[in-house]
A = this chain, B = another copy of it.
Amino acid sequence: MADGPKIVTAALIIIGNEILSGRTKDKNMGYIADRLTELGIRMMEVRVVADIPADIVEAVNALRARYNYVFTTGGIGPTHDDITADCIAQAFGVGISEHPEAVKLLSARYKNPADFTEARRRMTRVPHGGVLVENPVSTAPGFRVENVYTFAGIPAVMQAMFESIAHELAGGDPLLSRAVSAFLPEGIIATPLKTIEEDHPGIEAGSYPFQRDGRFGATLVLRSTDKALLDRATEALKAVITELGGEPMEV
């Protein structure tokens, strides 16, 4: 019997009161979601948590046990509300101290010792056992402890950190997808879509309604790790849409 598809999973923890209050609109979830999908890794859960140590520790421990990779964003800057590194150390039950390599990097950046403030020294603190993640944008590094990657929250910095470690993420079989839109209400296409999924084991079907120019429609997405199967199911879906009087538009 052939092996089933290889599934690799991930979760994201977004840390920061500013996201929860609405002051800052998160831009990291969409980026990481897109990149993980490209890499054949399925994001299974995202949590946005406040700057409360117990909440952060709980989220890290719940998710690192459950998924192959966990990413965190936010809370590794120099201010007193930047508590992510301490929380990661606590979650793993390890100590935390200044990482010699991080001290070297920041010393090189702040050549005048007066500029290398106590607050900036905070950014060199890494949980014991942690490996640095390069920050080509603003020097102060992220880090990885076991399967948990800790990134900055500023989108440009987070993206640079993600890209610096992307090559070391082991993806699963890529989940291929094809999407077909139609100006057919979901209430009309729902039952035929379910039938297509049932008729093609190995296909996952999703329906995402939209409203455009005052008309209701749906984008129907078929997913599978098997390309030939996906192509057959997509043809069947297009035929059904046409049958229902709609015009299938591949998107």
A19 to B193, CA, bound (A): 20
Nearest neighbor of A188 in chain B, beta-carbon distance: B117
Query: Known contacts A79-B207, A117-B188: does B30 contact A44 (CB below 8 Å)?
Result: no
Contact of A24 among B20, B115, B137, B208 (CB under 8 A): B208
Nearest CB on B from A69, distance (A) = 13
A187–B117 touching, CB < 8 Å: yes
Q: Is A186 an interface residue (CB 8 A)?
A: yes
CA distance A78 to B189 in the complex (A): 9
**Is A229 an interface residue when CB atoms closer than 8 A count as contact?**
no
> How many chain A residues touch the partner (CB < 8 A)?
69
Query: Which residues 157-192 of A sit at the B interface, judged by CB distance below 8 A?
Result: 157, 175, 177, 179, 186-191
Q: Do the beta carbons of A156 and B81 come within 8 Å of each other?
A: no
**Residue contact A20 to B34, C-beta cutoff 8 Å:** no
A119 contacts B46, CB within 8 Å? Answer: no
Which of A48-56, A90-98, A128-136, A141-149 contacts the other chain?
A: A48-56
A211 at the interface (CB under 8 A from B): yes
Interface residues of A (CB under 8 A from B): 14, 17-26, 29-30, 33-37, 42-51, 55, 77-81, 115, 117-120, 122-123, 137-138, 153-154, 156-157, 175, 177, 179, 186-191, 193-194, 197, 204-211, 216, 221
